[in-house]
Structure 1
C-alpha cells in the first residue's frame, strides 16, 4: 500500500465543528477517489494536532488523486483551517523520514523569491535592447545590417520580452500554489530552449552563419542546461502536485 500522510496544526480559533467537518470530508473520500482504499485520522500531541493518513492501492493512484475535485476540496478546507500543514509520502515497509514531515520546498522558494524575478528582469532588459537595436538605424553599423538580420533582432527581442512577462506570471502562479503553476514553470524552461534553438536556426539557414561559429561552448551549455532544468522541474513539481490546488 502507498500512503500520503497530512499533518495539520490548527490555526487559533478553529471550532470543533469546522475541524470535524474537514476530517469527515477526508474520511468520505474512499469510493470517490480512484485507488484510495482507506483514510485514517489520528489526534496528535506536540507540533501537530491531527494526522490524516490516506492509503492507496498503487503509486499511480496516489499521484492521480491530486487531480480529483473531491480531494482538492478537502485539502483546500484543511488549508483554510491550518496554521501549519505538512505532508509526506511512504509505502508499506518504508517509513517516512524522521523529522521531515513534507517534501523539501527550497527550490520552490528559490524560484519564487529570486530566480524568476531575476530572470524576468534580465529577459525584459535584453529583449528591449535587441528590439530597439533592430528598429534603430541611428547607429552607423546598423546601416550595414540586412533587413532580414534586423528582423531577427526585432523578433528575438519580442520573444524575450514575452518570456520575461511569462516569468512574472509563472512566479505569481507558483507563489499562489495555483494548479497551473507547475505546468507553467516547465513550459517556461522549455520555451527558453526552443527560443535558443530557433535563433540558431534563423541565423544559420537564412544568413548562412556557420554552425561551428554559432554552437559555441556557452551556447551548448545553455541548451543542455535548459533541457535539464525542464526535466528537473517536471519531476520536482510532479512529486508536489498535491500542494498546488488553487
Structure 2
C-alpha cells in the first residue's frame, strides 16, 4: 500500500514527516486517514461515482478539521526553486567558483602565461590581488557546497547561510573591481563590455538576495532541524 500526500498526491514513505514536494506536514492523524482512504478505495471500487465523490468530499472536510496546527498555520507552497538550488544551482556555483578561483591564482584570466607575466610586470600589485581574489573564490565555492548540504537537510541555518553566500559573493566582486581599478588606473565599471558584465552581475546578485529572502521566509517552518 502506498501513502500519498493529501495536498498534492505525491507518493510518501510510510515514515515521512512532511511532503518533500509541497511541504505539507504529515501527522499521525493525517497518516492514518490517508491509509484508511486507500483501503476504502480498494474495497469499494465497484461503487457508483456519485457515492465515491460524496465520501471523498466528506473525508476531505474531516481532514481539514483535523489538520495539524503547523499545517493550518503554514499553507503548503511549491518547492521547485528549492529543488533547483540543491540539485543544480548551488552545485554548479560551488564548482564554478572553485574553478574560477584556481584560474585567478594561476593568472589564467589573461589567456596565456606570457600575457599574465606582462600584466604583472607593469602592475605587480595586481598579481597579489588576483591571488587573494582566487583564494576567496575557492573558499566561497566550498561554502556553496556546504550551504547545499544544509538546505538539502532542511537545517535551520540553511536559508541564512544561502543569503550570506550571495552577500559575500557581491562584496568580493565589488572589492575586486575597486581594487583592480585603483591598481591599474582603469575604471573597470566604465570599460566597455567588461563593465557591462560586472554591473549585470551585481544587479543579479542583489536580486537573488532579495528574492531568496522572501522565498525562504515563507518556508521557514520547513527548516527546523
TM-score, structure 2 normalization: 0.65
Aligned partners of 2:166 and 2:205 also within 8 Å: yes
Conserved in 2, the CA contact under 8 Å of 1:88 and 1:103? no
Match of 1:102 in 2: 76
**Secondary structure of residue in 2 paired with 1:110:** helix
Partner of 1:132: 106
Task: Give me the whole-angstrom Cα distance separating, in 1, the residues matched to 2:183 and 2:124.
Answer: 12
Q: CA deviation digits over 1:19-69, x for unaligned, max 9?
A: 48xxxxxxxxxxxxxxxxxxxxxxx946x7951136xxxxxxxxxxxxxxx
Query: CA separation of 1:122/1:10 partners in 2, compared to 1, >3 Å: closer, same or farther?
Result: closer
Cα deviation, residue 177, structure 1: 0.3
Instruction: Specify which structure has the higher proportion of helix.
Output: 2
Residue in 2 that maps onto 1:213: 191
Select the structure of larger CA radius of gyration. 2
Query: Match of 1:165?
Result: 142
2 CA distance for matches of 1:160 and 1:225?
18
4+ residue segments displaced more than 2 Å: 9-12, 87-90, 138-144
- Give 1:88 shift: 6.1
1:190 Cα offset (Å): 1.1
Choose from 148, 158, 169 the match for 1:181: 158
- Normalised to the residue count of structure 1, the TM-score between the two structures is 0.60
Structure possessing the higher relative contact order (Cα contacts under 8 Å, 6 or more residues apart): 1
2:221 paired with 1:235: no
Unaligned residue ranges in structure 1 (runs of 5+): 1-5, 13-17, 21-43, 55-86, 91-100
1:78-129 deviation per Cα after TM superposition (whole angstroms, max 9, x unaligned): xxxxxxxxx4657xxxxxxxxxx51111100000000000111111111111
Tell me if the contact between 2:86 and 2:152 (Cα under 8 Å) persists in the aligned partners: yes
Contact 1:163 1:188 in 2 (8 A): yes
> What is the CA RMSD across the aligned residues, in angstroms?
3.1
The structure whose residues are more often strand, as a share, is 1
